[in-house]
Structure 1
Amino acid sequence: MLIQDTESLTKFCASLQGAPYLAVDTEFMRESTYHAQLCLVQVAHGEHAAAIDPLARGIDLAPLHALLAEPGTLKVLHSAVQDLEIFFHATGSVPGPVFDTQIAASVCGLGDQPGYAKLAAELLGVQLDKASQAVDWSVRPMSERQIDYALGDVTHLCRIYEILVADLETKGRGAWVAQEMEALVEPSRYVVDPRLAYRRIKIRRPERKDLAILRELSDWRERAAVSRNIPRGWVVRDDALAEIAQHVPHDVEELARVRGLKPQVAKGVDGRAMLDAIERALATPEEEWPEAPTSRAPLSGHEPLVALLQALLRLRCDAHGVSTSMIASRNDLDRIATEPQPDVPALRGWRKKIFGEDALKLRAGEISLSGDGEFGVLLQ
């Protein structure tokens, strides 16, 4: 069913009141905008399923937003972050509680961040229509094939969810997934602070002054991108901002010589805004400049311990049927091997129980690994 008016949407949402869970998916476009352009919302539970057209003239999505805000109804999504971000920016809140089938599948041992098509094939024996995955969902009218594909995303998702929940219950891992879901509904995850946007930009061996300038430049760019609703890189590229921060042009002519910055941009309104940002940074008291990252000496001599930790990680993950990347990254292992008290996910919550505790014991020499006489490894 395709819904394109408020009255039909209201009736559909009323039919789902009190549902224990809702399968939810979205189709959106983001190539030329800052925020994603929502093009379709699909919702299903039991015999009820609909594709809701947010681009339909005059439609009010308030009934849908109210339905998704129900605290007693679990919202089931696959790879939920972008969908939740869209709803957060539309309503100002995250539609919790949520259940991410991608995370649950990883916890159940179905691979590292398995895609939806993979789960549909492996759990349901369903092959998805790949041709509809790359269409422009903002174009109207949509074809019947598109609508069928979109509805299939949530009707299949209902069955995938029920299979995963049963598997989690059998394996006693419901609490593991619950810990992961708490992070998904944290509103701060979906808020970008323009004053902190500079931290995402790569800059080589920066000094504090460089970071102060970069902070003002990226703050301006973030706000400009939001107000124009265009990608950040369409305002000014990261590498151009980094070069400006380190070479500090003082006028339009010097700014126009920055690599990656078009001369017409340097000589226009944005050029003036960037020069103003530089002036603000230089006028800021030095004690308020961001701290430069402390240079860390190259790691050496820890590789044998990391190799043992990798073997332990594989051993514990194989025993629990969980992908290694779900438990610890290479950076986690480096930090466990070299830091007294590393703050890494592998040493918290359920990950600590299946790997972290033994990793610390291995580092301390309290346990060891050895061959089993054939092709395996034993924990002793």
Structure 2
Amino acid sequence: MEARPLKMGNIEAKVPLIQGGMGVGISLGRLAGAVAKEGGIGSISAAQIGFKEPDFDTNTKEANLRAIQKEYDKARAIAPDGIIGFNIMVAMRHYEEYVRAAIDAGADLILSGAGLPTDLPRIAGDSRAKLAPIVSTDKSAKVILKYWGRKYKRMPDLLVIEGPKAGGHLGFTKEQLKAYDQAAYDAEVSDILDTVRSYEEEFQCRIPVALAGGIENKAQAEHAFSLGVDAIQAATRFVTTEECDAHIKYKEAYLNAKETDIVIVKSPVGMPGRAILNPFMEKVMAGERIPHSSCHGCLQKCNPSEIPYCITDALVHAARGEVDDALLFCGAYAYKADHLETVKEVIDSLMPERV
């Protein structure tokens, strides 16, 4: 199986691999820049990106907007000619402002999921940034392609399919995750590709597709490419790299995890996710309510008076290495990591022969 460069209009990634966005503070400028330097697509997570700023607690939005530029500049200094994008969740408050800030910073690509980015073309306007919605099902792919086609007369520059083995928030119900079957999801991917091809024909364009979720070795990458996608997206494998922005204790949590430690959890806003079982999550799963800081305004559909814990607090704890008090998001195969690697080593271990 050969992996060809990923073309999105006038830009091309020599390595058809996207490093998935991981927040809070796990994929920032250092990791994204390292991936872009190796020829892949580096992705900076915009989720509460300003958590290190001194005024984050009192001036959250402005701290995040400031950090978007700082982290982009950091990545661009590492990879002057690389492709650097931002992963920005639709579910975030101030979504439009964050998208515009990323574009103004110089982002080559905006990847957007955790909800359907129906109005991303309006927000991006005539900017040069490529637009990449993230979907999990053929149904969601049809919705976004139909909507963009009818309202904006345009198609995505890239479509990312995120499967049920991914980390973080997932676009599936808990029941769907329990009933996961590889062959069945392969069929879903095939349906999505058929839908994409129908819109390519209608709009006389090319829509490259990337597949994400549980791709942690070369055989899985080859399987993904065999389905007909143009690229893969991987995130978990990059956590345990020397260049990853995560705290060393966060990385060690992956290195020390066993298969039985990887569990499906529910976020404060009701979405299922995959994480490492730790003292914090044991308390949450036992029904304990965790005291939290004043609201940082992260997610649109969140009522601070009703949540069992604050996801910003939990993820900031993770980013700072306070792992016993943290939500440790991860992919299905996080437990397989047993040593630190470089970004180059990870990419080389994932990619089939390149042409």
Q: TM-score range by the shorter chain?
A: under 0.3
* Structure with the bigger percentage of strand: 2
Which structure's CA Rg is the greater one?
1
* Structure with the bigger percentage of helix: 1
Q: TM-score, with normalisation over the residues of structure 2?
A: 0.24
Q: TM-score, with normalisation over the residues of structure 1?
A: 0.22
